[in-house]
């Protein structure tokens, strides 16, 4: 029975039965005329989640990492210079990917717990009078630290520097959970995946690509085959795939979009804020600190929580799993052993989040953390009752 417990990792997220059942379809012919009736609406409706009318949706059977490889290889050439800030594990992984592809990566190192440094981007770009920098890479939501960066501020910085570089954004752990404005923010490629806000299994990389990025394909010389935009777009134009598609995920994606639109995207975003704020109230009641250094950086999909000196966060998450059958995110990179993460995105409710807070609270009490049992849960309960859309107000 323990495997029925929800997970509180930042992805893959809990899969609602409605989506699990939608993916349980028998094998079908992806070259049959009716496949276009299934696939074309998925591409069209996904635009609404990215916040675009101009962007082109391109999917690949892959995780977000495959999406990043597609973004880089379709628009850049060996030796091209890119600018990226490193402020967590996932921003570092994109750096590693670019270096392996022979790109000239200019790195701005930032303290973990901070976000994308728009002011530093502007300074570097202003000095690049020859426009050697071809792309600026930004992680919207750094899953390792629970930090959300201001993408609009990065765009303003690029515009202030009057620099023509493209902007690529990793929104794997933010899309369909927090607002994303592809057109308004002037994004050129955004990369996401099926396993987080869309509440599906891992296996579909989802990209939104601007006309400017599509134009860059004309001069890009990095090698690509499986991840070729042209091949995928040509097949998609007639409702097909250039190779075997992830049919079950496409059916799941169609149903996921229906669920998101039925709830309403603004309500989806409000729910994620509400759940995140409940977790933050609990963390404060425990006397612990978030890794994110200021409230403007707080993520609404994952909270990274520092443990007190002398405690091992890995031992805590192991104990929560072994004793109570519930998974929480471990600390990654510099935070290994120093922080644990609570994922609060996707298919979650107030009650489910309270179960997670109660579980990690018991685990901390078992391991003699300096907390008082019940404090964190009570703080979250009070917020859920009396905060925005609180049930106590509705009953009054």
Question: Which two tokens mark 336?
Answer: 């290994």
**CA dist., res. 356 & res. 341, Å (int):** 11
Q: String of b and e for 129-154 (b: at least 16 CB within 10 Å)? A: eeeebbbbbbbbbbbbbbbbbbbebb
Characterize the bridge pairing of strands 166-170 and 133-139.
parallel
Asked if the bond preceding 12 is cis, omega within 30° of 0, the reply is yes
Give the pLDDT mean for 360-389: 95
Same domain, 63 and 166: yes
- Judge if 287 and 180 occupy the same domain: no
Domain ends where: 201, 235, 261?
261
Residue 235 lies in a domain: yes
CB 40 within 8 A of CB 238: no
CA gap 167, 138 in Å, rounded:
7
Same domain, 223 and 329: no
Provide, rounded to the nearest whole percent, the portion of the chain with pLDDT above 70: 98
Residue 182 shares a structural domain with residue 286: no
Q: What are 273-317's pLDDT values in tens digits?
A: 999 999 999 999 999 999 999 999 999 999 999 999 999 999 999
- 106-153 pLDDT, tens digit per residue, is 999 999 999 999 999 999 999 999 999 999 999 999 999 999 999 999
30 and 171 co-located in one domain: yes
The answer to whether residues 203 and 322 belong to one domain is no
Report the CATH number that the domain containing residue 192 is assigned in CATH.
3.40.640.10
Q: How confident is the model at residue 46 (pLDDT cuts 50, 70, 90)?
A: very high
Euclidean distance between CA atoms 115 and 111, whole angstroms: 9
Q: Provide the pLDDT confidence category of residue 393 given band limits of 50, 70 and 90.
A: low
Instruction: Give me the pLDDT at residue 28, please.
Output: 84
- Number of domain units in the chain: 2
Backbone phi, psi, residue 59, to 5°: -120, 155
Q: Which two tokens stand for residue 327?
A: 């998974």
Instruction: Select from 195, 188, 148, 146 the least CA-distant residue to 164.
Output: 188
- Give the residue-averaged pLDDT of 340-354: 98
- Give the separation between CA 37 and CA 245, rounded to whole angstroms: 15
What pLDDT digit, counting tens, does each position of 163-214 carry? 999 999 999 999 999 999 999 999 999 999 999 999 999 999 999 999 999 9
Do residues 184 and 47 both lie within one domain? yes
Whether 51 shows a pLDDT value over 70: the answer reads yes
- Both 241 and 272 in one domain: the answer is no
DSSP 8-state code for residue 348 = -
pLDDT of residue 350: 97
Given a cut of 70, whether residue 92 has pLDDT beyond it is yes
pLDDT of residue 32: 83
Question: Does residue 1 surpass a pLDDT of 60?
Answer: no
Rounded Cα distance, 159 and 137, in Å: 15
Distance CA 6, CA 1 (A): 12
Instruction: Judge if 250 and 272 occupy the same domain.
Output: no
Site of tokens 């901070």:
114
* Beta strands 189-193; 166-170: pairing state: parallel
Q: Identify the band that residue 396 occupies on the pLDDT scale cut at 50, 70 and 90.
A: low
Vertex 81: Cα angle to 77 and 84 (nearest 5): 120
Separation between Cα atoms, residue 135 and residue 80, nearest integer Å:
9
Number of H helices, E strands in the chain: 14, 12
Residue 240: predicted pLDDT: 85
pLDDT of residue 123: 98
Instruction: State the average pLDDT for the chain.
Output: 96
* Contact indicator for 38, 182 with CB cutoff of 8 Å: no
Please check whether residue 106 is in contact with residue 82, taking contact to mean a CB–CB distance below 8 angstroms: yes
Distances (CA, A) of 260 to 24, 206, 264: 20, 16, 6
- For the record, the structure tokens of 87 come out as 């402020």
Instruction: Specify the CATH number for the domain of residue 330.
Output: 3.90.1150.10
Is residue 103 within 8 A of residue 68, CB to CB? The reply is no
* Residue 145 DSSP class: T
Q: How far apart are CA 289 and CA 27, in angstroms?
A: 49
In a domain, 161, yes or no: yes
Same domain, 217 and 341: no
The domain in which residue 34 lies consists of 17-261
Neighbouring C-beta atoms of residue 339, cutoff 10 Å: 28
Do 307 and 313 contact (CB within 8 A), yes or no? yes
Residue 7 lies inside a defined structural domain of this protein: no
pLDDT of residue 395: 65
Percent of the chain topping pLDDT 90 = 92
Torsion of CA 151, 156, 157, 162, to 10 degrees: 130
Q: Which residue has the tokens 């990274």?
A: 304
């Amino acid at each position: 029975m323990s495997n029925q417990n929800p997970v509180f990792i930042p992805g893959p997220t809990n899969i609602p039965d409605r989506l699990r059942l939608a993916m349980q379809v028998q094998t079908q012919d992806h070259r049959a005329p009716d496949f276009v009736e299934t696939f074309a609406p998925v591409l069209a409706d996904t635009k609404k989640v990215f916040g675009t009318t101009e962007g082109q949706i391109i999917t690949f059977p892959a995780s977000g990492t495959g999406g990043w490889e597609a973004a880089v290889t379709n628009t850049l050439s060996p030796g091209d210079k890119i600018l990226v800030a490193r402020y967590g594990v996932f921003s570092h992984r994109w750096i590693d990917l670019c270096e392996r592809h022979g790109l000239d990566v200019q790195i701005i190192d930032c303290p973990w717990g901070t976000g994308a440094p728009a002011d530093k981007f502007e300074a570097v770009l202003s000095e690049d009078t020859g426009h050697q920098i071809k792309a600026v890479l930004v992680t919207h939501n750094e899953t390792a630290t629970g930090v959300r960066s201001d993408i609009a501020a990065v765009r303003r910085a690029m515009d202030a520097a009057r620099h023509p570089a493209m902007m690529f954004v990793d929104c794997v752990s933010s899309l369909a959970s927090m607002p994303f404005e592809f057109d308004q923010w002037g994004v050129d490629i955004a990369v996401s995946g099926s396993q987080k806000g869309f509440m599906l299994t891992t296996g579909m990389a989802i990209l939104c690509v601007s006309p400017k990025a599509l134009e860059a394909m004309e001069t890009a010389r990095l090698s690509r085959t499986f991840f070729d935009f042209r091949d995928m777009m040509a097949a998609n134009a007639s409702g097909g795939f250039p190779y075997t598609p992830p049919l079950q995920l496409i059916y799941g994606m169609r149903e996921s979009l229906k669920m998101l639109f039925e709830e309403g995207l603004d309500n989806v975003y409000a729910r994620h804020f509400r759940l995140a704020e409940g977790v933050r109230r609990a963390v404060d009641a425990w006397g612990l600190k978030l890794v994110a250094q200021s409230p403007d950086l707080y993520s609404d999909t994952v909270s990274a929580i520092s443990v007190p000196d002398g405690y091992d966060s890995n031992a805590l998450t192991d104990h929560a799993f072994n004793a109570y059958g519930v998974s929480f995110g471990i600390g990654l990179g510099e935070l290994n052993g120093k922080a644990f993460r609570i994922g609060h995105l996707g298919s979650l409710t107030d009650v489910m989040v309270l179960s997670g807070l109660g579980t990690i609270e018991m685990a901390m009490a078992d391991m003699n953390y300096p907390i008082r049992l019940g404090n964190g849960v009570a703080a979250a309960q009070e917020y859920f009752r009396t905060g925005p859309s609180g049930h106590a107000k509705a009953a009054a």
